[in-house]
Structure 1
Amino acid sequence: MMPLLDLDPDVVATARELAARAAEPVVRIATAHTTVAVERATLRLAGITGADTTHRAGDVPWVNRVVDTVREHCGLEHGVVLPAFHALREHDLGSLTDLAEATAAGQIQYRVPAGRDAERAAKAGRVAVAKGLRTVDRNRAQRDRLITRFGDPPRRPWIYLIVATGDIDEDVVQAANAARAGADIIAVIRSTGQSLLDYVPEGATHHGFAGTYATQENFRIMRAAMDDVSKEVGRYIRVTNYASGLCMPEIAVLGGLQRLDMMLNDSMYGILFRDINPIRTFVDQRFSRQVHARAGIIINTGEDNYLTTADAVDAAHTVTVSQLLNEHFAHEAGLPDELLGLGHAFEINPKVPESFRLELAHALLARELFPDAPLKWMPPTKHMTGDVFNGYLLDGFFNLAGVLTGQSILLVGMMTEAVVTPFLSDRDLALQNVRYVLDAAAGLREDFHPAPGGFIVKRAHQVLGEAVDLLDRIVRDGLLNAIADGTFGLMKRPPDKGKGADGVVEKADGYRNPAADLLESGETK
């Protein structure tokens, strides 16, 4: 897309430099700590599966049982791999699942090995984790083969549609029908509250609330079903889920092991909107993004959510700041631009004068700041009133803005947003809206040239300037302090508060994690 905003390259470079400086202290903190979720994710790559179904309080995943017991016996400062694989050898057990069962029976006393014992445990752990990563690598290659075989959607933006029945089998039915009706990406919404569970449920689930639980088996079922539909419709249908919340690293691993294609993964969403501890979130998101980079998974960030709590005009620059921070955190973790689905949204109050021109300015600014990123454009939600006719019109304007500004991923807006969970008929009407606009205005972008120095160009320059000013302040005050002060989405989240803080562990000098080593190096064994 040809630049239309005449952005000053020096201002853009300054914005990125400030974002990097603002992020640097947080990256240092993230690399100096681990979390229970990172250690569980490592054991999942090493092959542990299943759950203790006999526990009186409900099923407990074996990976939780092992990590929690290791922490109780000898701490996690050295990581879980050394104690776990030393115990595996010491007790002559055949698998990590056997180790978990013995742990539950009280037969294992974990300790951090030293000397040759430590080296043997580290080597065994690396072999097991490397095997899991090779599965991730094979899935990435398989995705590439299937895209070549079935083909990609013939046009951009890709059409992204949500299913959220709570029952994975019903989700499959809705997803297949949506793909046949034109959807390119199926997003399976998670059950309400799962982001605050410090474990990942096991197996297929049929009882989620306003969404379906993210589990390895549910991922497998949906991916297999969409492979069948891809063959039927003649284009590769991508599947999305959520690598966020207290189990962000684990779900990223499960997505890689089951060939998901996109995952929602934002550096600050869990802090701001789920009150998860900031340090826990930054540690977990770094590891999860390393997994996404290895798996070739496109991440979707959550800047659209800021505009559901803050004003979309006054807070527009905070979206740009978050996008720049998300970009830096992603690059630092190894994610290239083509996997960086930065988010933004059509959330200006339609009663604001020139609201559509303002939306175009904001959308164009994102497109020109991140020309190689598959931007995710989110539909109106905050100002959907229940008037389905007005909502349908507003979604049409949203679709038009997406076409005019060259967005990459367009989430289908629903006229019944904020009223009911959409019926299949609502989704069909929404897809008709998208298809009409994309077909009718497909080439309009080449004719769209905002006036030099006009309203749209001036607004984009204003937002970028405000973003640079805010980044400069964040560099001076610190990103963690900015989050605590309510800079983003009006949410105030101190760094020492929030859910999951007790799951953060400072690494000791002898910390070992073969998953982190292999992800950093790109090696396969």
Structure 2
Amino acid sequence: MTTTPARLELDPAAVRRARTLARRAGAPVVKLAQRHTTMSVERATLRLAGLRGADHERVPWVNHLVDAVRGQVGLEHGVTTPVYDALRRGEAEDLTTLAQKAASGSVSFRLPEGRDLTGARTAARKEVAAGLRTVDRQRAARERMIRRLGDPPSKPWIYLIVATGDIDEDIPQAQAAAREGADVIAVIRSTGQSLLDYVPEGATHEGYAGTYATQENFRLMRAALDETSKEVGRYVRLTNYASGLCMPEIAALAGLERLDMMLNDSMYGILFRDINPIRTFVDQRFSRQVHARAGIIINTGEDNYLTTADAVEAAHTVTVSQLLNEYFAKEAGLEDWQLGLGHAFEINPEVPESFRMELAHAMLARQLFPDAPLKWMPPTKHMTGDVFRGYLLDGFFNLVGAMTGQGILLVGMMTEAVVTPFLSDRDLALQNVRYVMNAAGGLVEDFHPPRDGFIQTRAREVLGEAVTLLEGIVADQGDRGDHPPLLRAIADGTFGLMKRPPEAGKGLDGVVEKARRRTPEGPGYDNPATTMLEEGSTR
């Protein structure tokens, strides 16, 4: 049974204004993204067309092919036009062979004209369409399994992380977690993978503090969780990370291998990995179009802001980011049920009334986004190594989740900041969740904070500060180049206290401005994946 959470008495005009301002702040960034492509967007398109594999040094063939095209004719017109022109001219019999020959410098690329141009673009669309049909089939397969096996009987879905570095060790841990009650298994990525400008190939066994995100690892874990789903009688979801320099490619691979959730925040890579802002916004728009098509739920990363900024003073920046993430996601085609917007239990427990403020913040997020699942994150910043205190804090965190009707609850570990959790730690953490949900899950029905009490007042205060911040962002029409106001706000350290200018950061050299229309120098930009994702077509 679903129970409606208690409602805050927020000013409807303030809520509408917050969304209007978020749209005004985000729209120029969308236009910026539409005018650019990136190396990873072009590689993702070729992956949808079926290109796989890597050379003996494990450099993917797709990297070789995109690099060769860029070196000879540029990417302003898209990668698929020169690639499929080369195939039609007989440079190679298939895409993989063409990439192999390109790696050795034995292929000549050009920008075709006339019938050759039309033929190349028709051939490219046909091959990319086949990949999108695979994504569609995988979405349909998920829906069939959910109809047959069922979803978890109630929310929040219990979300638990596994990551040993070795996919063969991850699989039994993930299956054990599912048997003990986890509804969502997240395979955390190897440290630093977000900064790799390529996607590793094949099954991996040597990650650091995580396991590499690869297409084969996705396939293996999805197959294992399908077996366990049948065993436990409910569909167990799989999560990974579509972020970093290869965000579009990983999104495409997730769609091809039926992952169910992906970490996909519009600003996380900018703030916490120093990835160029323009590259990030271009990549996230394409990746979210893929997620929309694949029926994947995104998880956003607002919880990270509170690990670098104070969770009380910066609470409104979480709300602003949630509103921006909502705008960017819906613009890319995602629906409310796919918006796992992030927020976290990160107030210093020594602060008076910290629990009441956590309730206020969680209720505010729940009410602003009533149809989104939301992803509620456990304490990390103030976990000290005292496992008894940590276990208690996680219990309080679980209680807030129960009282406010969160949709996705990440399981907190009492050994956070001490060691990588053992299986026994995860089992104890799941016991904590089960106890709270069994004992207090119905509190969402009974909990109604008084009209002008502490919780209501705090929620209104945070919403008001969020509106003020958005007003300041939109009003900034300064002379710092022609960058949108939101990019200037990011450069000023507005979110998470991280200052990231739009003309700096990793991956900037992989950003390419599109050829806007046909000119004597070229045929204009074309990307069949983008076109079909926006059309909703498969041919």
TM-score bucket (shorter structure) = over 0.9
Residue 27 of structure 2 corresponds to which residue in structure 1?
A: 24
Deviation string for 1:177-198 (max 9, x for gaps)? 0000000000000000000000
State how far apart, in whole Å, the 2-side matches of 1:361 and 1:106 are: 60
Residue 494 of structure 2 corresponds to which residue in structure 1?
A: 487
Deviation string for 1:193-247 (max 9, x for gaps)? 0000000000000000000000000000000000000000000000000000000
- Is residue 2:228 matched to residue 1:214? no
State how far apart, in whole Å, the 2-side matches of 1:67 and 1:412 are: 40
Residue 474 of structure 2 corresponds to which residue in structure 1?
A: 475
* TM-fit CA distance, 1:405: 0.4
Alignment of 1:44-443 (within 5 A): 44-53=47-56, 58-91=57-90, 93-443=92-442
- Three-state SS of the structure 2 residue aligned to 1:498 is coil
State how far apart, in whole Å, the 2-side matches of 1:417 and 1:141 are: 38
Deviation string for 1:74-110 (max 9, x for gaps)? 1000000000000011125332101111212322011
Residue 510 of structure 2 corresponds to which residue in structure 1?
A: 503
Amino acid in the other structure paired with 1:498: G
Amino acid in the other structure paired with 2:380: T
Identity of aligned residues (%): 75
- Three-state SS of the structure 1 residue aligned to 2:186 is strand
State how far apart, in whole Å, the 1-side matches of 2:533 and 2:83 are: 20
State how far apart, in whole Å, the 2-side matches of 1:280 and 1:397 are: 39
State how far apart, in whole Å, the 1-side matches of 2:212 and 2:354 are: 37
State how far apart, in whole Å, the 2-side matches of 1:303 and 1:199 are: 26
Contact 2:190 2:212 in 1 (8 A): yes
- Is residue 2:528 matched to residue 1:521? no
* TM-fit CA distance, 1:395: 0.1
Deviation string for 1:443-462 (max 9, x for gaps)? 11111000111000000000
State how far apart, in whole Å, the 2-side matches of 1:28 and 1:20 are: 12
Contact 2:139 2:295 in 1 (8 A): yes
Deviation string for 1:395-435 (max 9, x for gaps)? 00000000000000000000000110001100000000000
Amino acid in the other structure paired with 1:512: D
After TM superposition, the structure 1 stretch with the greater mean CA deviation from structure 2, 89-98 or 511-520, is 89-98
- Three-state SS of the structure 2 residue aligned to 1:52 is coil
Contact 2:53 2:60 in 1 (8 A): yes
Amino acid in the other structure paired with 1:35: T
State how far apart, in whole Å, the 2-side matches of 1:494 and 1:114 are: 39
* TM-fit CA distance, 1:59: 1.6
Residue 42 of structure 2 corresponds to which residue in structure 1?
A: 39
State how far apart, in whole Å, the 2-side matches of 1:319 and 1:94 are: 51
Amino acid in the other structure paired with 1:29: L
Amino acid in the other structure paired with 2:378: P
- Three-state SS of the structure 2 residue aligned to 1:51 is coil
* TM-fit CA distance, 1:164: 1.1
State how far apart, in whole Å, the 1-side matches of 2:264 and 2:303 are: 13
State how far apart, in whole Å, the 1-side matches of 2:371 and 2:58 are: 44
Contact 2:91 2:107 in 1 (8 A): no
State how far apart, in whole Å, the 2-side matches of 1:329 and 1:2 are: 26
Amino acid in the other structure paired with 2:86: A
Amino acid in the other structure paired with 1:27: V
State how far apart, in whole Å, the 1-side matches of 2:284 and 2:352 are: 39
Deviation string for 1:292-330 (max 9, x for gaps)? 000000000000000000000000000000000000000
State how far apart, in whole Å, the 2-side matches of 1:410 and 1:59 are: 37
Contact 2:6 2:447 in 1 (8 A): no
* TM-fit CA distance, 1:21: 0.2
State how far apart, in whole Å, the 2-side matches of 1:214 and 1:458 are: 43
State how far apart, in whole Å, the 2-side matches of 1:292 and 1:450 are: 37
Amino acid in the other structure paired with 1:328: Y
**Aligned residue among 7, 10, 18 for 1:4:** 7
| Unaligned segments of structure 2, at least 5 residues | 477-484, 518-523
Residue 465 of structure 2 corresponds to which residue in structure 1?
A: 466
- Three-state SS of the structure 1 residue aligned to 2:414 is coil
* TM-fit CA distance, 1:2: 4.8
- Three-state SS of the structure 1 residue aligned to 2:158 is strand
| Unaligned segments of structure 1, at least 5 residues | none
Counting matched residue pairs gives 521
- Three-state SS of the structure 2 residue aligned to 1:382 is coil
- Is residue 2:17 matched to residue 1:14? yes
Alignment TM-score, normalising by the size of structure 1? 0.99
State how far apart, in whole Å, the 2-side matches of 1:91 and 1:415 are: 61
Alignment TM-score, normalising by the size of structure 2? 0.96
Contact 2:5 2:444 in 1 (8 A): no
* TM-fit CA distance, 1:3: 4.9
